Amino acid sequence: MVGYKIALFIHILSVASWFGGLAVMSVWLRKSIKLNETGISMTKSMESVHNLNVRMMIPVAILALAAGLYMLVSGNFGADKPLWLTIKERFGSLFILLYAIGLPIYGGKLFKKVAEGGDQAVSVVKRYIALLNTTLVVLLFIIFVVSFKF
């Protein structure tokens, strides 16, 4: 039972850190777009955000997945799991895997486009912001479903 509570703590801490980190990175990139007009480079901001995302947010997401899977295995849910747990287990796990695999690839391509420079840099950064905001919305949906235990 103690292992389950530790896993729950790690799971909640990981999801909260992941959500907060993504929100901060999104705001940071929006600010860099505004500062770019004054001559400060968006490339450095994009590089920092992408590196932070790959080096910190993906491991945090994987930690949330591992703790969640541990809780599922050690819990006494039987064959008839509630709907909220099925959504969390299947949709949440799939989303974390897609995030951990897809973000470094797609984000790396976007970063390379920004590093090349040109007129498209602002629109590319806005696409990265949209990717971060989409991730936030999906996380919020999962947190909502699990919190209200539909």
C-alpha–C-alpha distance, residues 67 and 80, integer Å: 21
With a cut of 80, say whether residue 27 has pLDDT above it.
yes
- Tokens 């819990």 belong to residue: 75
With a cut of 70, say whether residue 81 has pLDDT above it.
yes
C-alpha–C-alpha distance, residues 69 and 110, integer Å: 32
Q: Which position has the higher pLDDT, 63 or 78?
A: 63
Name which of 55-64, 88-97, 112-121 the model is least confident about. Answer: 112-121
- Tokens 């480079």 belong to residue: 41
* Arithmetic mean of pLDDT, 95-105: 92
Percent of the chain at pLDDT exceeding 90? 46
C-alpha–C-alpha distance, residues 83 and 124, integer Å: 38
Is the separation of the CB atoms in 53 and 62 below 8 Å?
no
pTM of the model: 0.85
pLDDT of residue 40: 61
C-alpha–C-alpha distance, residues 83 and 15, integer Å: 20
